[in-house]
Chain A
Amino acid sequence: MTSSQTEPVIQVLSLVKEYNGKRVLSDISFELYPRERVAIIGPSGGGKSTLLACMIGAAIPEEGEIQLLGETLRPRDRKAMDRLRLRFGVMFQGGALFSSMSIQENVALPIRRHSDLAEETIKILVAMKLNQVGLFAASDRSPEELSGGMIKRAALARAMALDPALLFIDEPSAGLDPIAVAEIDDLLLKQAETHDVAMVVVTHDMTSAYRIANRMIMLYKGRILFDGSPREIQECEDPVVQQFIHGRKDGPISFQESSLDFGKLLLEGE
């Protein structure tokens, strides 16, 4: 979407992030507009999770700026971050549900903390949120009693508890069977359409990415290699992009980088 009238919900400007002197993200810039659903894809170690961590304020970039929903992200300013965090939701890869609480308590937690609503109203809201993800019947269960797919759905209900304008989703398909993945993808789409939520989905599951996203950003070695629509990515002739989206073993993306060091070890006895 290219809209001159609409303000972007995310603006990432020349982002640089390093870990222990090693550059993980280099000069990342992009904008995300309302109702866009972007899949951040790329091979492992490409910088997807680091970019997500920077966008939710969990990691502090060395250079560059991030604006979320019109406000500059200042991870060191706790009050400003907390104000901003009320406007976006995060669904973690493993769910990150509080194991000492039931599913409904998990979903109720942000509502209880950040609103003055009566307990009865909170119960109704939580029931609605859980019903939307098909977990109303499992409200009283603890996270340990749920399957992987149910945990992800509960995590989605919690992430949507405060009706955010923006949703960050980390690896929604990780550890799930194809049917559960399809269910989660369908739920994410429904949430995006029903609540007009912009979504950033970090994934390396292309089937899931095609299903959810209307825009793809591919990261490779800490840089944006591709930014375009799902159709454009399929037509992209870059060999790295082609290898990744088709899941080919042979190609420029090497998974055997450590073999050079191993060879050196054998030859030089280091």
Chain B
Amino acid sequence: MVASKKEWRFRYPLLVEQILRTGMMSTPIVLLFAGLVGIILVLQTAFQLAQFGRVEMVGALVGVSVTREMGPLMTAIIVSGRVGAAFTAELGTMKVNDEILAAETMAIDPIQFLVVPRYLALILVLPCLTTLSDISALVFALLTGSSLFDVPRLTFMGVAQDWIQTSDILVGALKSAVFGALIAHICCFEAFHLKGGASSVGAATMRAVVLSMVAVLAADAVFAYFTL
């Protein structure tokens, strides 16, 4: 068989597979984590607000802090530990096992084949996960506020709605997409540049997770400065 020349074209199934994998891999832990953060935020703030007779403001406080800051940040950190680590470990193992070299020797660009789908998947999935994370945190905060501090549910939701601005949600989504790009970039880069055997996969994974968390926090600081 003679292979005909075929220009590279994007393979959507690879992207869809990565979106499903990263999304499904992270959704349960993101929901759980965000829910617990929502509970903690209410427990930490409602008691103080009650002392000033403004316990109903807990919805505003939790809503704004979660949508503007906590949601994107904690989701990115969970994803860097969960998905980013998996990226580095998987691609690193492929590098050690010569699978990346095998792709190259078959004239398959490993960046297009292995990195681009992961990159795009994280950029697309992270804002969705952040939205889920925001919802989970608010729902658990609502339940905690209403059951432990007698904040009427409608009041909680009304106050939260008054204080959360559309720009908070949009900036949160934009931040998440940037965080996704940073995590994918660092974790794939570490995998592709590791040298040595199996032990270097572990070291590269650890380095990738730490670096991506630091990069996410640094990027968040930059966002905070420009969205003051």
Contacts and interface: CB of A to CB of B under 8 A. Distances in A.
B99 A110 contact: no
B106 A109 contact: yes
A54 to B, nearest CB: 13
Contact of B105 (A58, A78, A111): A58
Interface string B1-20: 11111100000000000000
B59 to A, nearest CB: 45
A125 B102 contact: no
Contacts of A94: 97-98
A82 B110 CA distance: 12
Given A114-B4, A114-B6, A115-B3, A92 B102 contact: yes
Contact of B97 (A56, A96, A110, A111): A96
A115 B97 contact: no
A113 B98 contact: no
B108 interface: yes
A111 B1 contact: yes
B107 interface: yes
B106 A115 contact: no
A109 B1 CA distance: 14
Given A90-B105, A109-B106, A162 B99 contact: no
B106 A85 contact: yes
Given A56-B105, A86-B107, A97 B99 contact: yes
Contacts of A57: 104-105
A162 B1 CA distance: 6
A119 to B, nearest CB: 12
Nearest to B108: A113
A20 to B, nearest CB: 12
Contacts of B108: 109-110, 113
Interface size class of B (residues with CB under 8 A): 10 to 19
Interface in A95-117: 96-99, 109-111, 113-116
Given A109-B108, A116-B6, A125 B1 contact: yes
Given A85-B107, A109-B108, A114 B3 contact: yes
B101 interface: yes
A120 to B, nearest CB: 14
Given A96-B97, A162-B1, A82 B107 contact: yes
Contact of A58 (B94, B99, B104, B109): B104
Residue with the greatest number of chain A CB neighbours at <10 A, chosen from B1, B2, B98: B1
Interface residues of A, number: 29
Interface in B1-56: 1-6
A116 B7 CA distance: 10
Contacts of B5: 114
Contacts of B109: 78, 82
B64 to A, nearest CB: 42
Contacts of A110: 3, 106-108
B97 to A, nearest CB: 6
Contact of A90 (B1, B6, B99, B102): B102
A86 B1 CA distance: 11
A37 B136 CA distance: 64
Given A113-B106, A113-B107, A125-B1, A58 B6 contact: no
A114 B99 contact: no
A111 B97 CA distance: 22
Contacts of A162: 1, 3, 106
A63 to B, nearest CB: 23
Contacts of A158: 106
A175 to B, nearest CB: 13
Nearest to A170: B98
A83 B3 CA distance: 10
Contacts of A115: 1, 3-4, 6
Interface of A: 56-58, 78, 81-83, 85-86, 89-90, 92-94, 96-99, 109-111, 113-116, 125, 158, 162-163
**Nearest 9 pairs between A and B by C-beta?**
A96-B102, A82-B107, A114-B3, A96-B98, A85-B107, A90-B105, A110-B106, A92-B98, A162-B3
14 contacts: A56-B105, A83-B107, A86-B3, A90-B102, A92-B98, A94-B97, A96-B102, A99-B97, A110-B3, A111-B3, A113-B108, A114-B107, A116-B6, A162-B1
Given A81-B107, A113-B108, 12 more contacts: A56-B105, A57-B105, A85-B106, A86-B3, A96-B102, A98-B102, A99-B97, A110-B107, A111-B3, A113-B6, A113-B106, A116-B6
